[in-house]
Amino acid sequence: MTAAELDARLDQLEKDGFLLIPQALSPAETKEVRQRVNRAREQGWQEGLNEVGNMWFDRLLVQDPETFRPLVAHPGVRPYLDALLGPQLQLRSFRAHINPGPYLQEWHMDFYGYWQQPKRRFSVRGVAVNTTFYLQDNGPKDGHLKFVKGGHLSEPPGLDRSKFHGYHSNEFRDWCEAQEHVVVHPMAGDCVLFFSHIPHQGAKLREDMERSNVVCHFQGNPFYEGIWFVSRPIGYEGTFPLAS
């Protein structure tokens, strides 16, 4: 990819809020990661299975670093991450998912607190991006990832933390459902890079489909503890994959 092509892709990211990166992982890597995510489940390493059908794993970098560490700023996505944030890119958290049964994710933002960041004379608006690696084909009859069209560009209504109880509908989620959507069908080995504050929703269209993914959350600068984000930070040491 030339510098001009990369620039054009990042312009696309800014416009759409997401980028589909086909075949970020090789077929062999995809198979290996898929098997190791399944093995993690066999080991009982999951943190839980929520009521929309998402089983999640937060400690795989410690439990199986050989398999999972290479996904952090993997070469298939590294040029994009480098051009976005370079050495300042920090891994905030690392989470794998399996959807063992029916799955329709609640509309959500990973970085709910994006629009409510404290504004001071020298504070800058923090930004976070996900690289989500898909481990099976999410074809039109299988599954998808949906975005609110342009949902990263303005503040959605209803972002009041006290209105978020579990996975039930609320003003924000009803608003997301009523908007225009963009539907993406990532295939095995594809990565979707997107702003952590764009509202999104994953789904399985076939209950018997095996579906799993691995998400790296990156942030451009550390956030204070307690900022509204879907996952907790893993700490500081060794979290800057592009700083040499």
Ligand X SMILES: O=C(O)CCC(=O)C(=O)O
Name the site residues for ligand X (rule: CB under 6 A): 105, 110, 130, 132, 145, 200, 202, 213, 215
Question: Residue 145 CB, nearest distance to ligand X (Å)?
Answer: 4
Question: Residue 122 CB, nearest distance to ligand X (Å)?
Answer: 30
Question: Residue 233 CB, nearest distance to ligand X (Å)?
Answer: 16
Question: Residue 207 CB, nearest distance to ligand X (Å)?
Answer: 15
- As given in the structure block, the two tokens for residue 38 are 């399944």
- Give the nearer residue to ligand X in terms of CB position, either 170 or 213: 213
Q: CB of 53 within 8 A of CB of 60? A: no
Q: How many residues does the chain have?
A: 244
Q: CB of 55 within 8 A of CB of 48? A: yes
Alpha-carbon distance of 16 to 48, in angstroms, equals 32
Handedness of CA 55, 61, 66, 67 (dihedral sign): positive
- Give the nearer residue to ligand X in terms of CB position, either 36 or 211: 211
Alpha-carbon distance of 214 to 212, in angstroms, equals 7
Closest chain position to ligand X (CB): 202
Q: Is 67 helix (H, G, I), strand (E, B) or coil?
A: helix
Residue with tokens 């943190």: 47
Q: CB of 56 within 8 A of CB of 97? A: yes
Alpha-carbon distance of 12 to 191, in angstroms, equals 15
Alpha-carbon distance of 244 to 240, in angstroms, equals 9
- Give the nearer residue to ligand X in terms of CB position, either 113 or 202: 202
Question: Residue 53 CB, nearest distance to ligand X (Å)?
Answer: 9
- Give the nearer residue to ligand X in terms of CB position, either 7 or 188: 188
- Give the nearer residue to ligand X in terms of CB position, either 36 or 200: 200
Please list, in sequence order, all residues whose beta carbon lies within 8 angstroms of the beta carbon of residue 124, skipping any fewer than 6 positions away.
Answer: 221
Question: Residue 212 CB, nearest distance to ligand X (Å)?
Answer: 9
- Give the nearer residue to ligand X in terms of CB position, either 143 or 220: 143
